[in-house]
Structure 1
Amino acid sequence: MNTRQQQILEIVNQRKSVSVSELAQLCSVSEVTVRQDLNALESQHYLKRVHGSAVSTESDNLDQRMQTNFLTKKLIAEFAASLVEDGESVFIEGGSTNALLARTLAERGNVTLITVSYYIANLLKDTECDVIILGGFYQKGSQSVVGPLTRSGIQQVHFSKAFIGIDGFHDSTGFTGRDMMRSDVVNAILAKSTETIVLTDSSKFGSIQPYPLSEQYPISRVITDAELPAEYQHKLEAMGIALNIVNP
């Protein structure tokens, strides 16, 4: 995705629907160029084209979440992808930033992606990478599986890195999640004692959610954006967690 396509996607996500002619004016290019960009973006499921306009995808909650701070999440996902070597098997838990990571890795092909997210699996249906999706109780809202069967599946597969999302981090609580069953899945991932990497935008820091993530098996790395307050940077470093900050 080039810079102009990123600009187009940001405009569409903000306005929900924008005509081709208006996009051409806003981006200072011809309508032919805009149509070519829209075709490329639609082919990757970033947006939809309808009667001379581009519209944001709104098929489920994750689509809507992906639209929020999209460019920041994309930068985080691209940095995370740079940590994965060809031939690796990695676990991708779920969430909008992790979905972007999965799509970025899938474009390379020579990786195996293990996930509990049927949303992510569906994103990768036309790619060449290998996908292993675990079973369990299906949560319709998040399009992920949870519960004892999911925990059992996590115990039976092997991976070199795990990428997870969080819903909150605070000095008094550490990392937290808003959903009990999904937090349980993350704790099962942490118990594998592999390299576990959090992908999150900085808005989650300072927030406290109900369900704690295990401190028995520490998180290895956090990748976030430059808006992360200095106090949390110092806290993560004091906890021995590697910190990578991406800049737009």
Structure 2
Amino acid sequence: MIPYVRREKIMDELENKKIMYIEDFLKIFVGVSESTIRRDLKTLEDENYIVLLRGGAVKLKLDAYEIPVGTKKLLFKEDKEKIAKYAASLVEDEEVIYIDSGTTCSAMVKYIKAKGVRVVTSNIQVLNEINGNGIESCIIVGGEVNKSLDSISGPMTDASLRNMNFDRSFLGTSGFGLEVGINTPDFREASKKTIVNSNSNRCYVLADSSKFNKSTLCKAFELKECTLITNKQIPSFDGTVEYYVAE
């Protein structure tokens, strides 16, 4: 296994378990030496993705806050691509859509096949994904740029979005569940999501199953107020929750 793939797997494991030990990784990577694992962990720490603790423990950096885009790109990539592709298939010709911040939301752009689509976004990454597909125009709302999230938010952003209406919106989230709703650690991101949800004919939230029942500081709205797109069946959901499974 090449080092990059091994480090990607380490990030996946940490996203699920939050804190792990070097001994745990030795069980996962059979035949890989402890010194190699330590080098991988040191590399991830130097890249500001993880924190090495005493006693051989490891955790994701900023796990109580919004995870930076650079870290998110390493997590659950296959699941996110499936969700993004499914979300893109819902877009119809000549619709006005909103695309939120987040790696899964930005990934859906390249899969849009509909023609004459107008995009409004607060996601800086979206510009990098538009490449000769059916998107007629793209509007980036003004506001304060959060470099770690590649996101635009704040009072100016909210003021712009309040005056816009969308056929469909596609939002990201840090956590979702019946009790925790759709949530994010950032007040500005939560405000933005609340406004967009209210101004959309259909609101979709794109979230892989690792975010199920994860709770962060700010609830933007209730889960039943949107349609969830995820990668696994969630048996505990009752008939009040509408969701699709991207397979």
Give TM-score scaled by structure 1 length. Answer: 0.67
| Pick aligned residue for 2:147 from 133, 140, 150 | 140
Structure 1: segments with no counterpart, 5+ residues: 1-10, 18-57
Aligned-residue identity in percent: 25
Partner in structure 1 of residue 132 of structure 2: 127
| Pick aligned residue for 2:211 from 191, 199, 204 | 204
Structure 2: segments with no counterpart, 5+ residues: 9-46, 50-67
Report the 3-state secondary structure (helix = DSSP H, G, I; strand = E; otherwise coil) of the residue aligned with 1:141.
Answer: coil
Report the 3-state secondary structure (helix = DSSP H, G, I; strand = E; otherwise coil) of the residue aligned with 1:161.
Answer: strand
| Pick aligned residue for 1:191 from 195, 198, 205 | 198
- Paired with 1:187 and 1:156, the residues of 2 have a C-alpha distance of 14
| Pick aligned residue for 2:5 from 5, 14, 38 | 14
CA contact 1:102–1:113 (8 Å) conserved in 2: no
- For the pair 1:245 / 2:245, whether they are aligned, the reply is yes
16 and 111 in structure 1: CA distance in 2 versus 1, 3 angstrom threshold: farther
Aligned-pair CA distance for 1:141: 1.1
- For the pair 1:164 / 2:155, whether they are aligned, the reply is no
- For the pair 1:222 / 2:213, whether they are aligned, the reply is no
| Pick aligned residue for 1:74 from 81, 84, 88 | 81
Per-residue CA deviation, residues 17-36 of structure 1 (Å, 9 max, x unaligned), is 9xxxxxxxxxxxxxxxxxxx
CA contact 1:195–1:219 (8 Å) conserved in 2: no
Partner in structure 1 of residue 124 of structure 2: 118
CA RMSD of aligned residues (A): 2.7
- Paired with 1:94 and 1:13, the residues of 2 have a C-alpha distance of 25
Aligned-pair CA distance for 1:121: 2.2
Partner in structure 2 of residue 55 of structure 1: none
Question: Which structure 1 residue ranges, 4+ long, deviate > 6 Å from structure 2?
Answer: none
209 and 109 in structure 1: CA distance in 2 versus 1, 3 angstrom threshold: same
Per-residue CA deviation, residues 43-89 of structure 1 (Å, 9 max, x unaligned), is xxxxxxxxxxxxxxx9x942441332111111111111111112111
CA contact 1:93–1:115 (8 Å) conserved in 2: yes
Per-residue CA deviation, residues 150-207 of structure 1 (Å, 9 max, x unaligned), is 0111122232000001111243332211211111110111221521101100111121
13 and 213 in structure 1: CA distance in 2 versus 1, 3 angstrom threshold: farther
12 and 63 in structure 1: CA distance in 2 versus 1, 3 angstrom threshold: farther
Aligned-pair CA distance for 1:13: 5.9
CA contact 2:177–2:212 (8 Å) conserved in 1: yes
Per-residue CA deviation, residues 103-146 of structure 1 (Å, 9 max, x unaligned), is 222x655311110111222332x435221110011111112111
- Paired with 1:80 and 1:12, the residues of 2 have a C-alpha distance of 32
Give TM-score scaled by structure 2 length. Answer: 0.67
- Paired with 1:200 and 1:82, the residues of 2 have a C-alpha distance of 16
Report the 3-state secondary structure (helix = DSSP H, G, I; strand = E; otherwise coil) of the residue aligned with 2:73.
Answer: helix
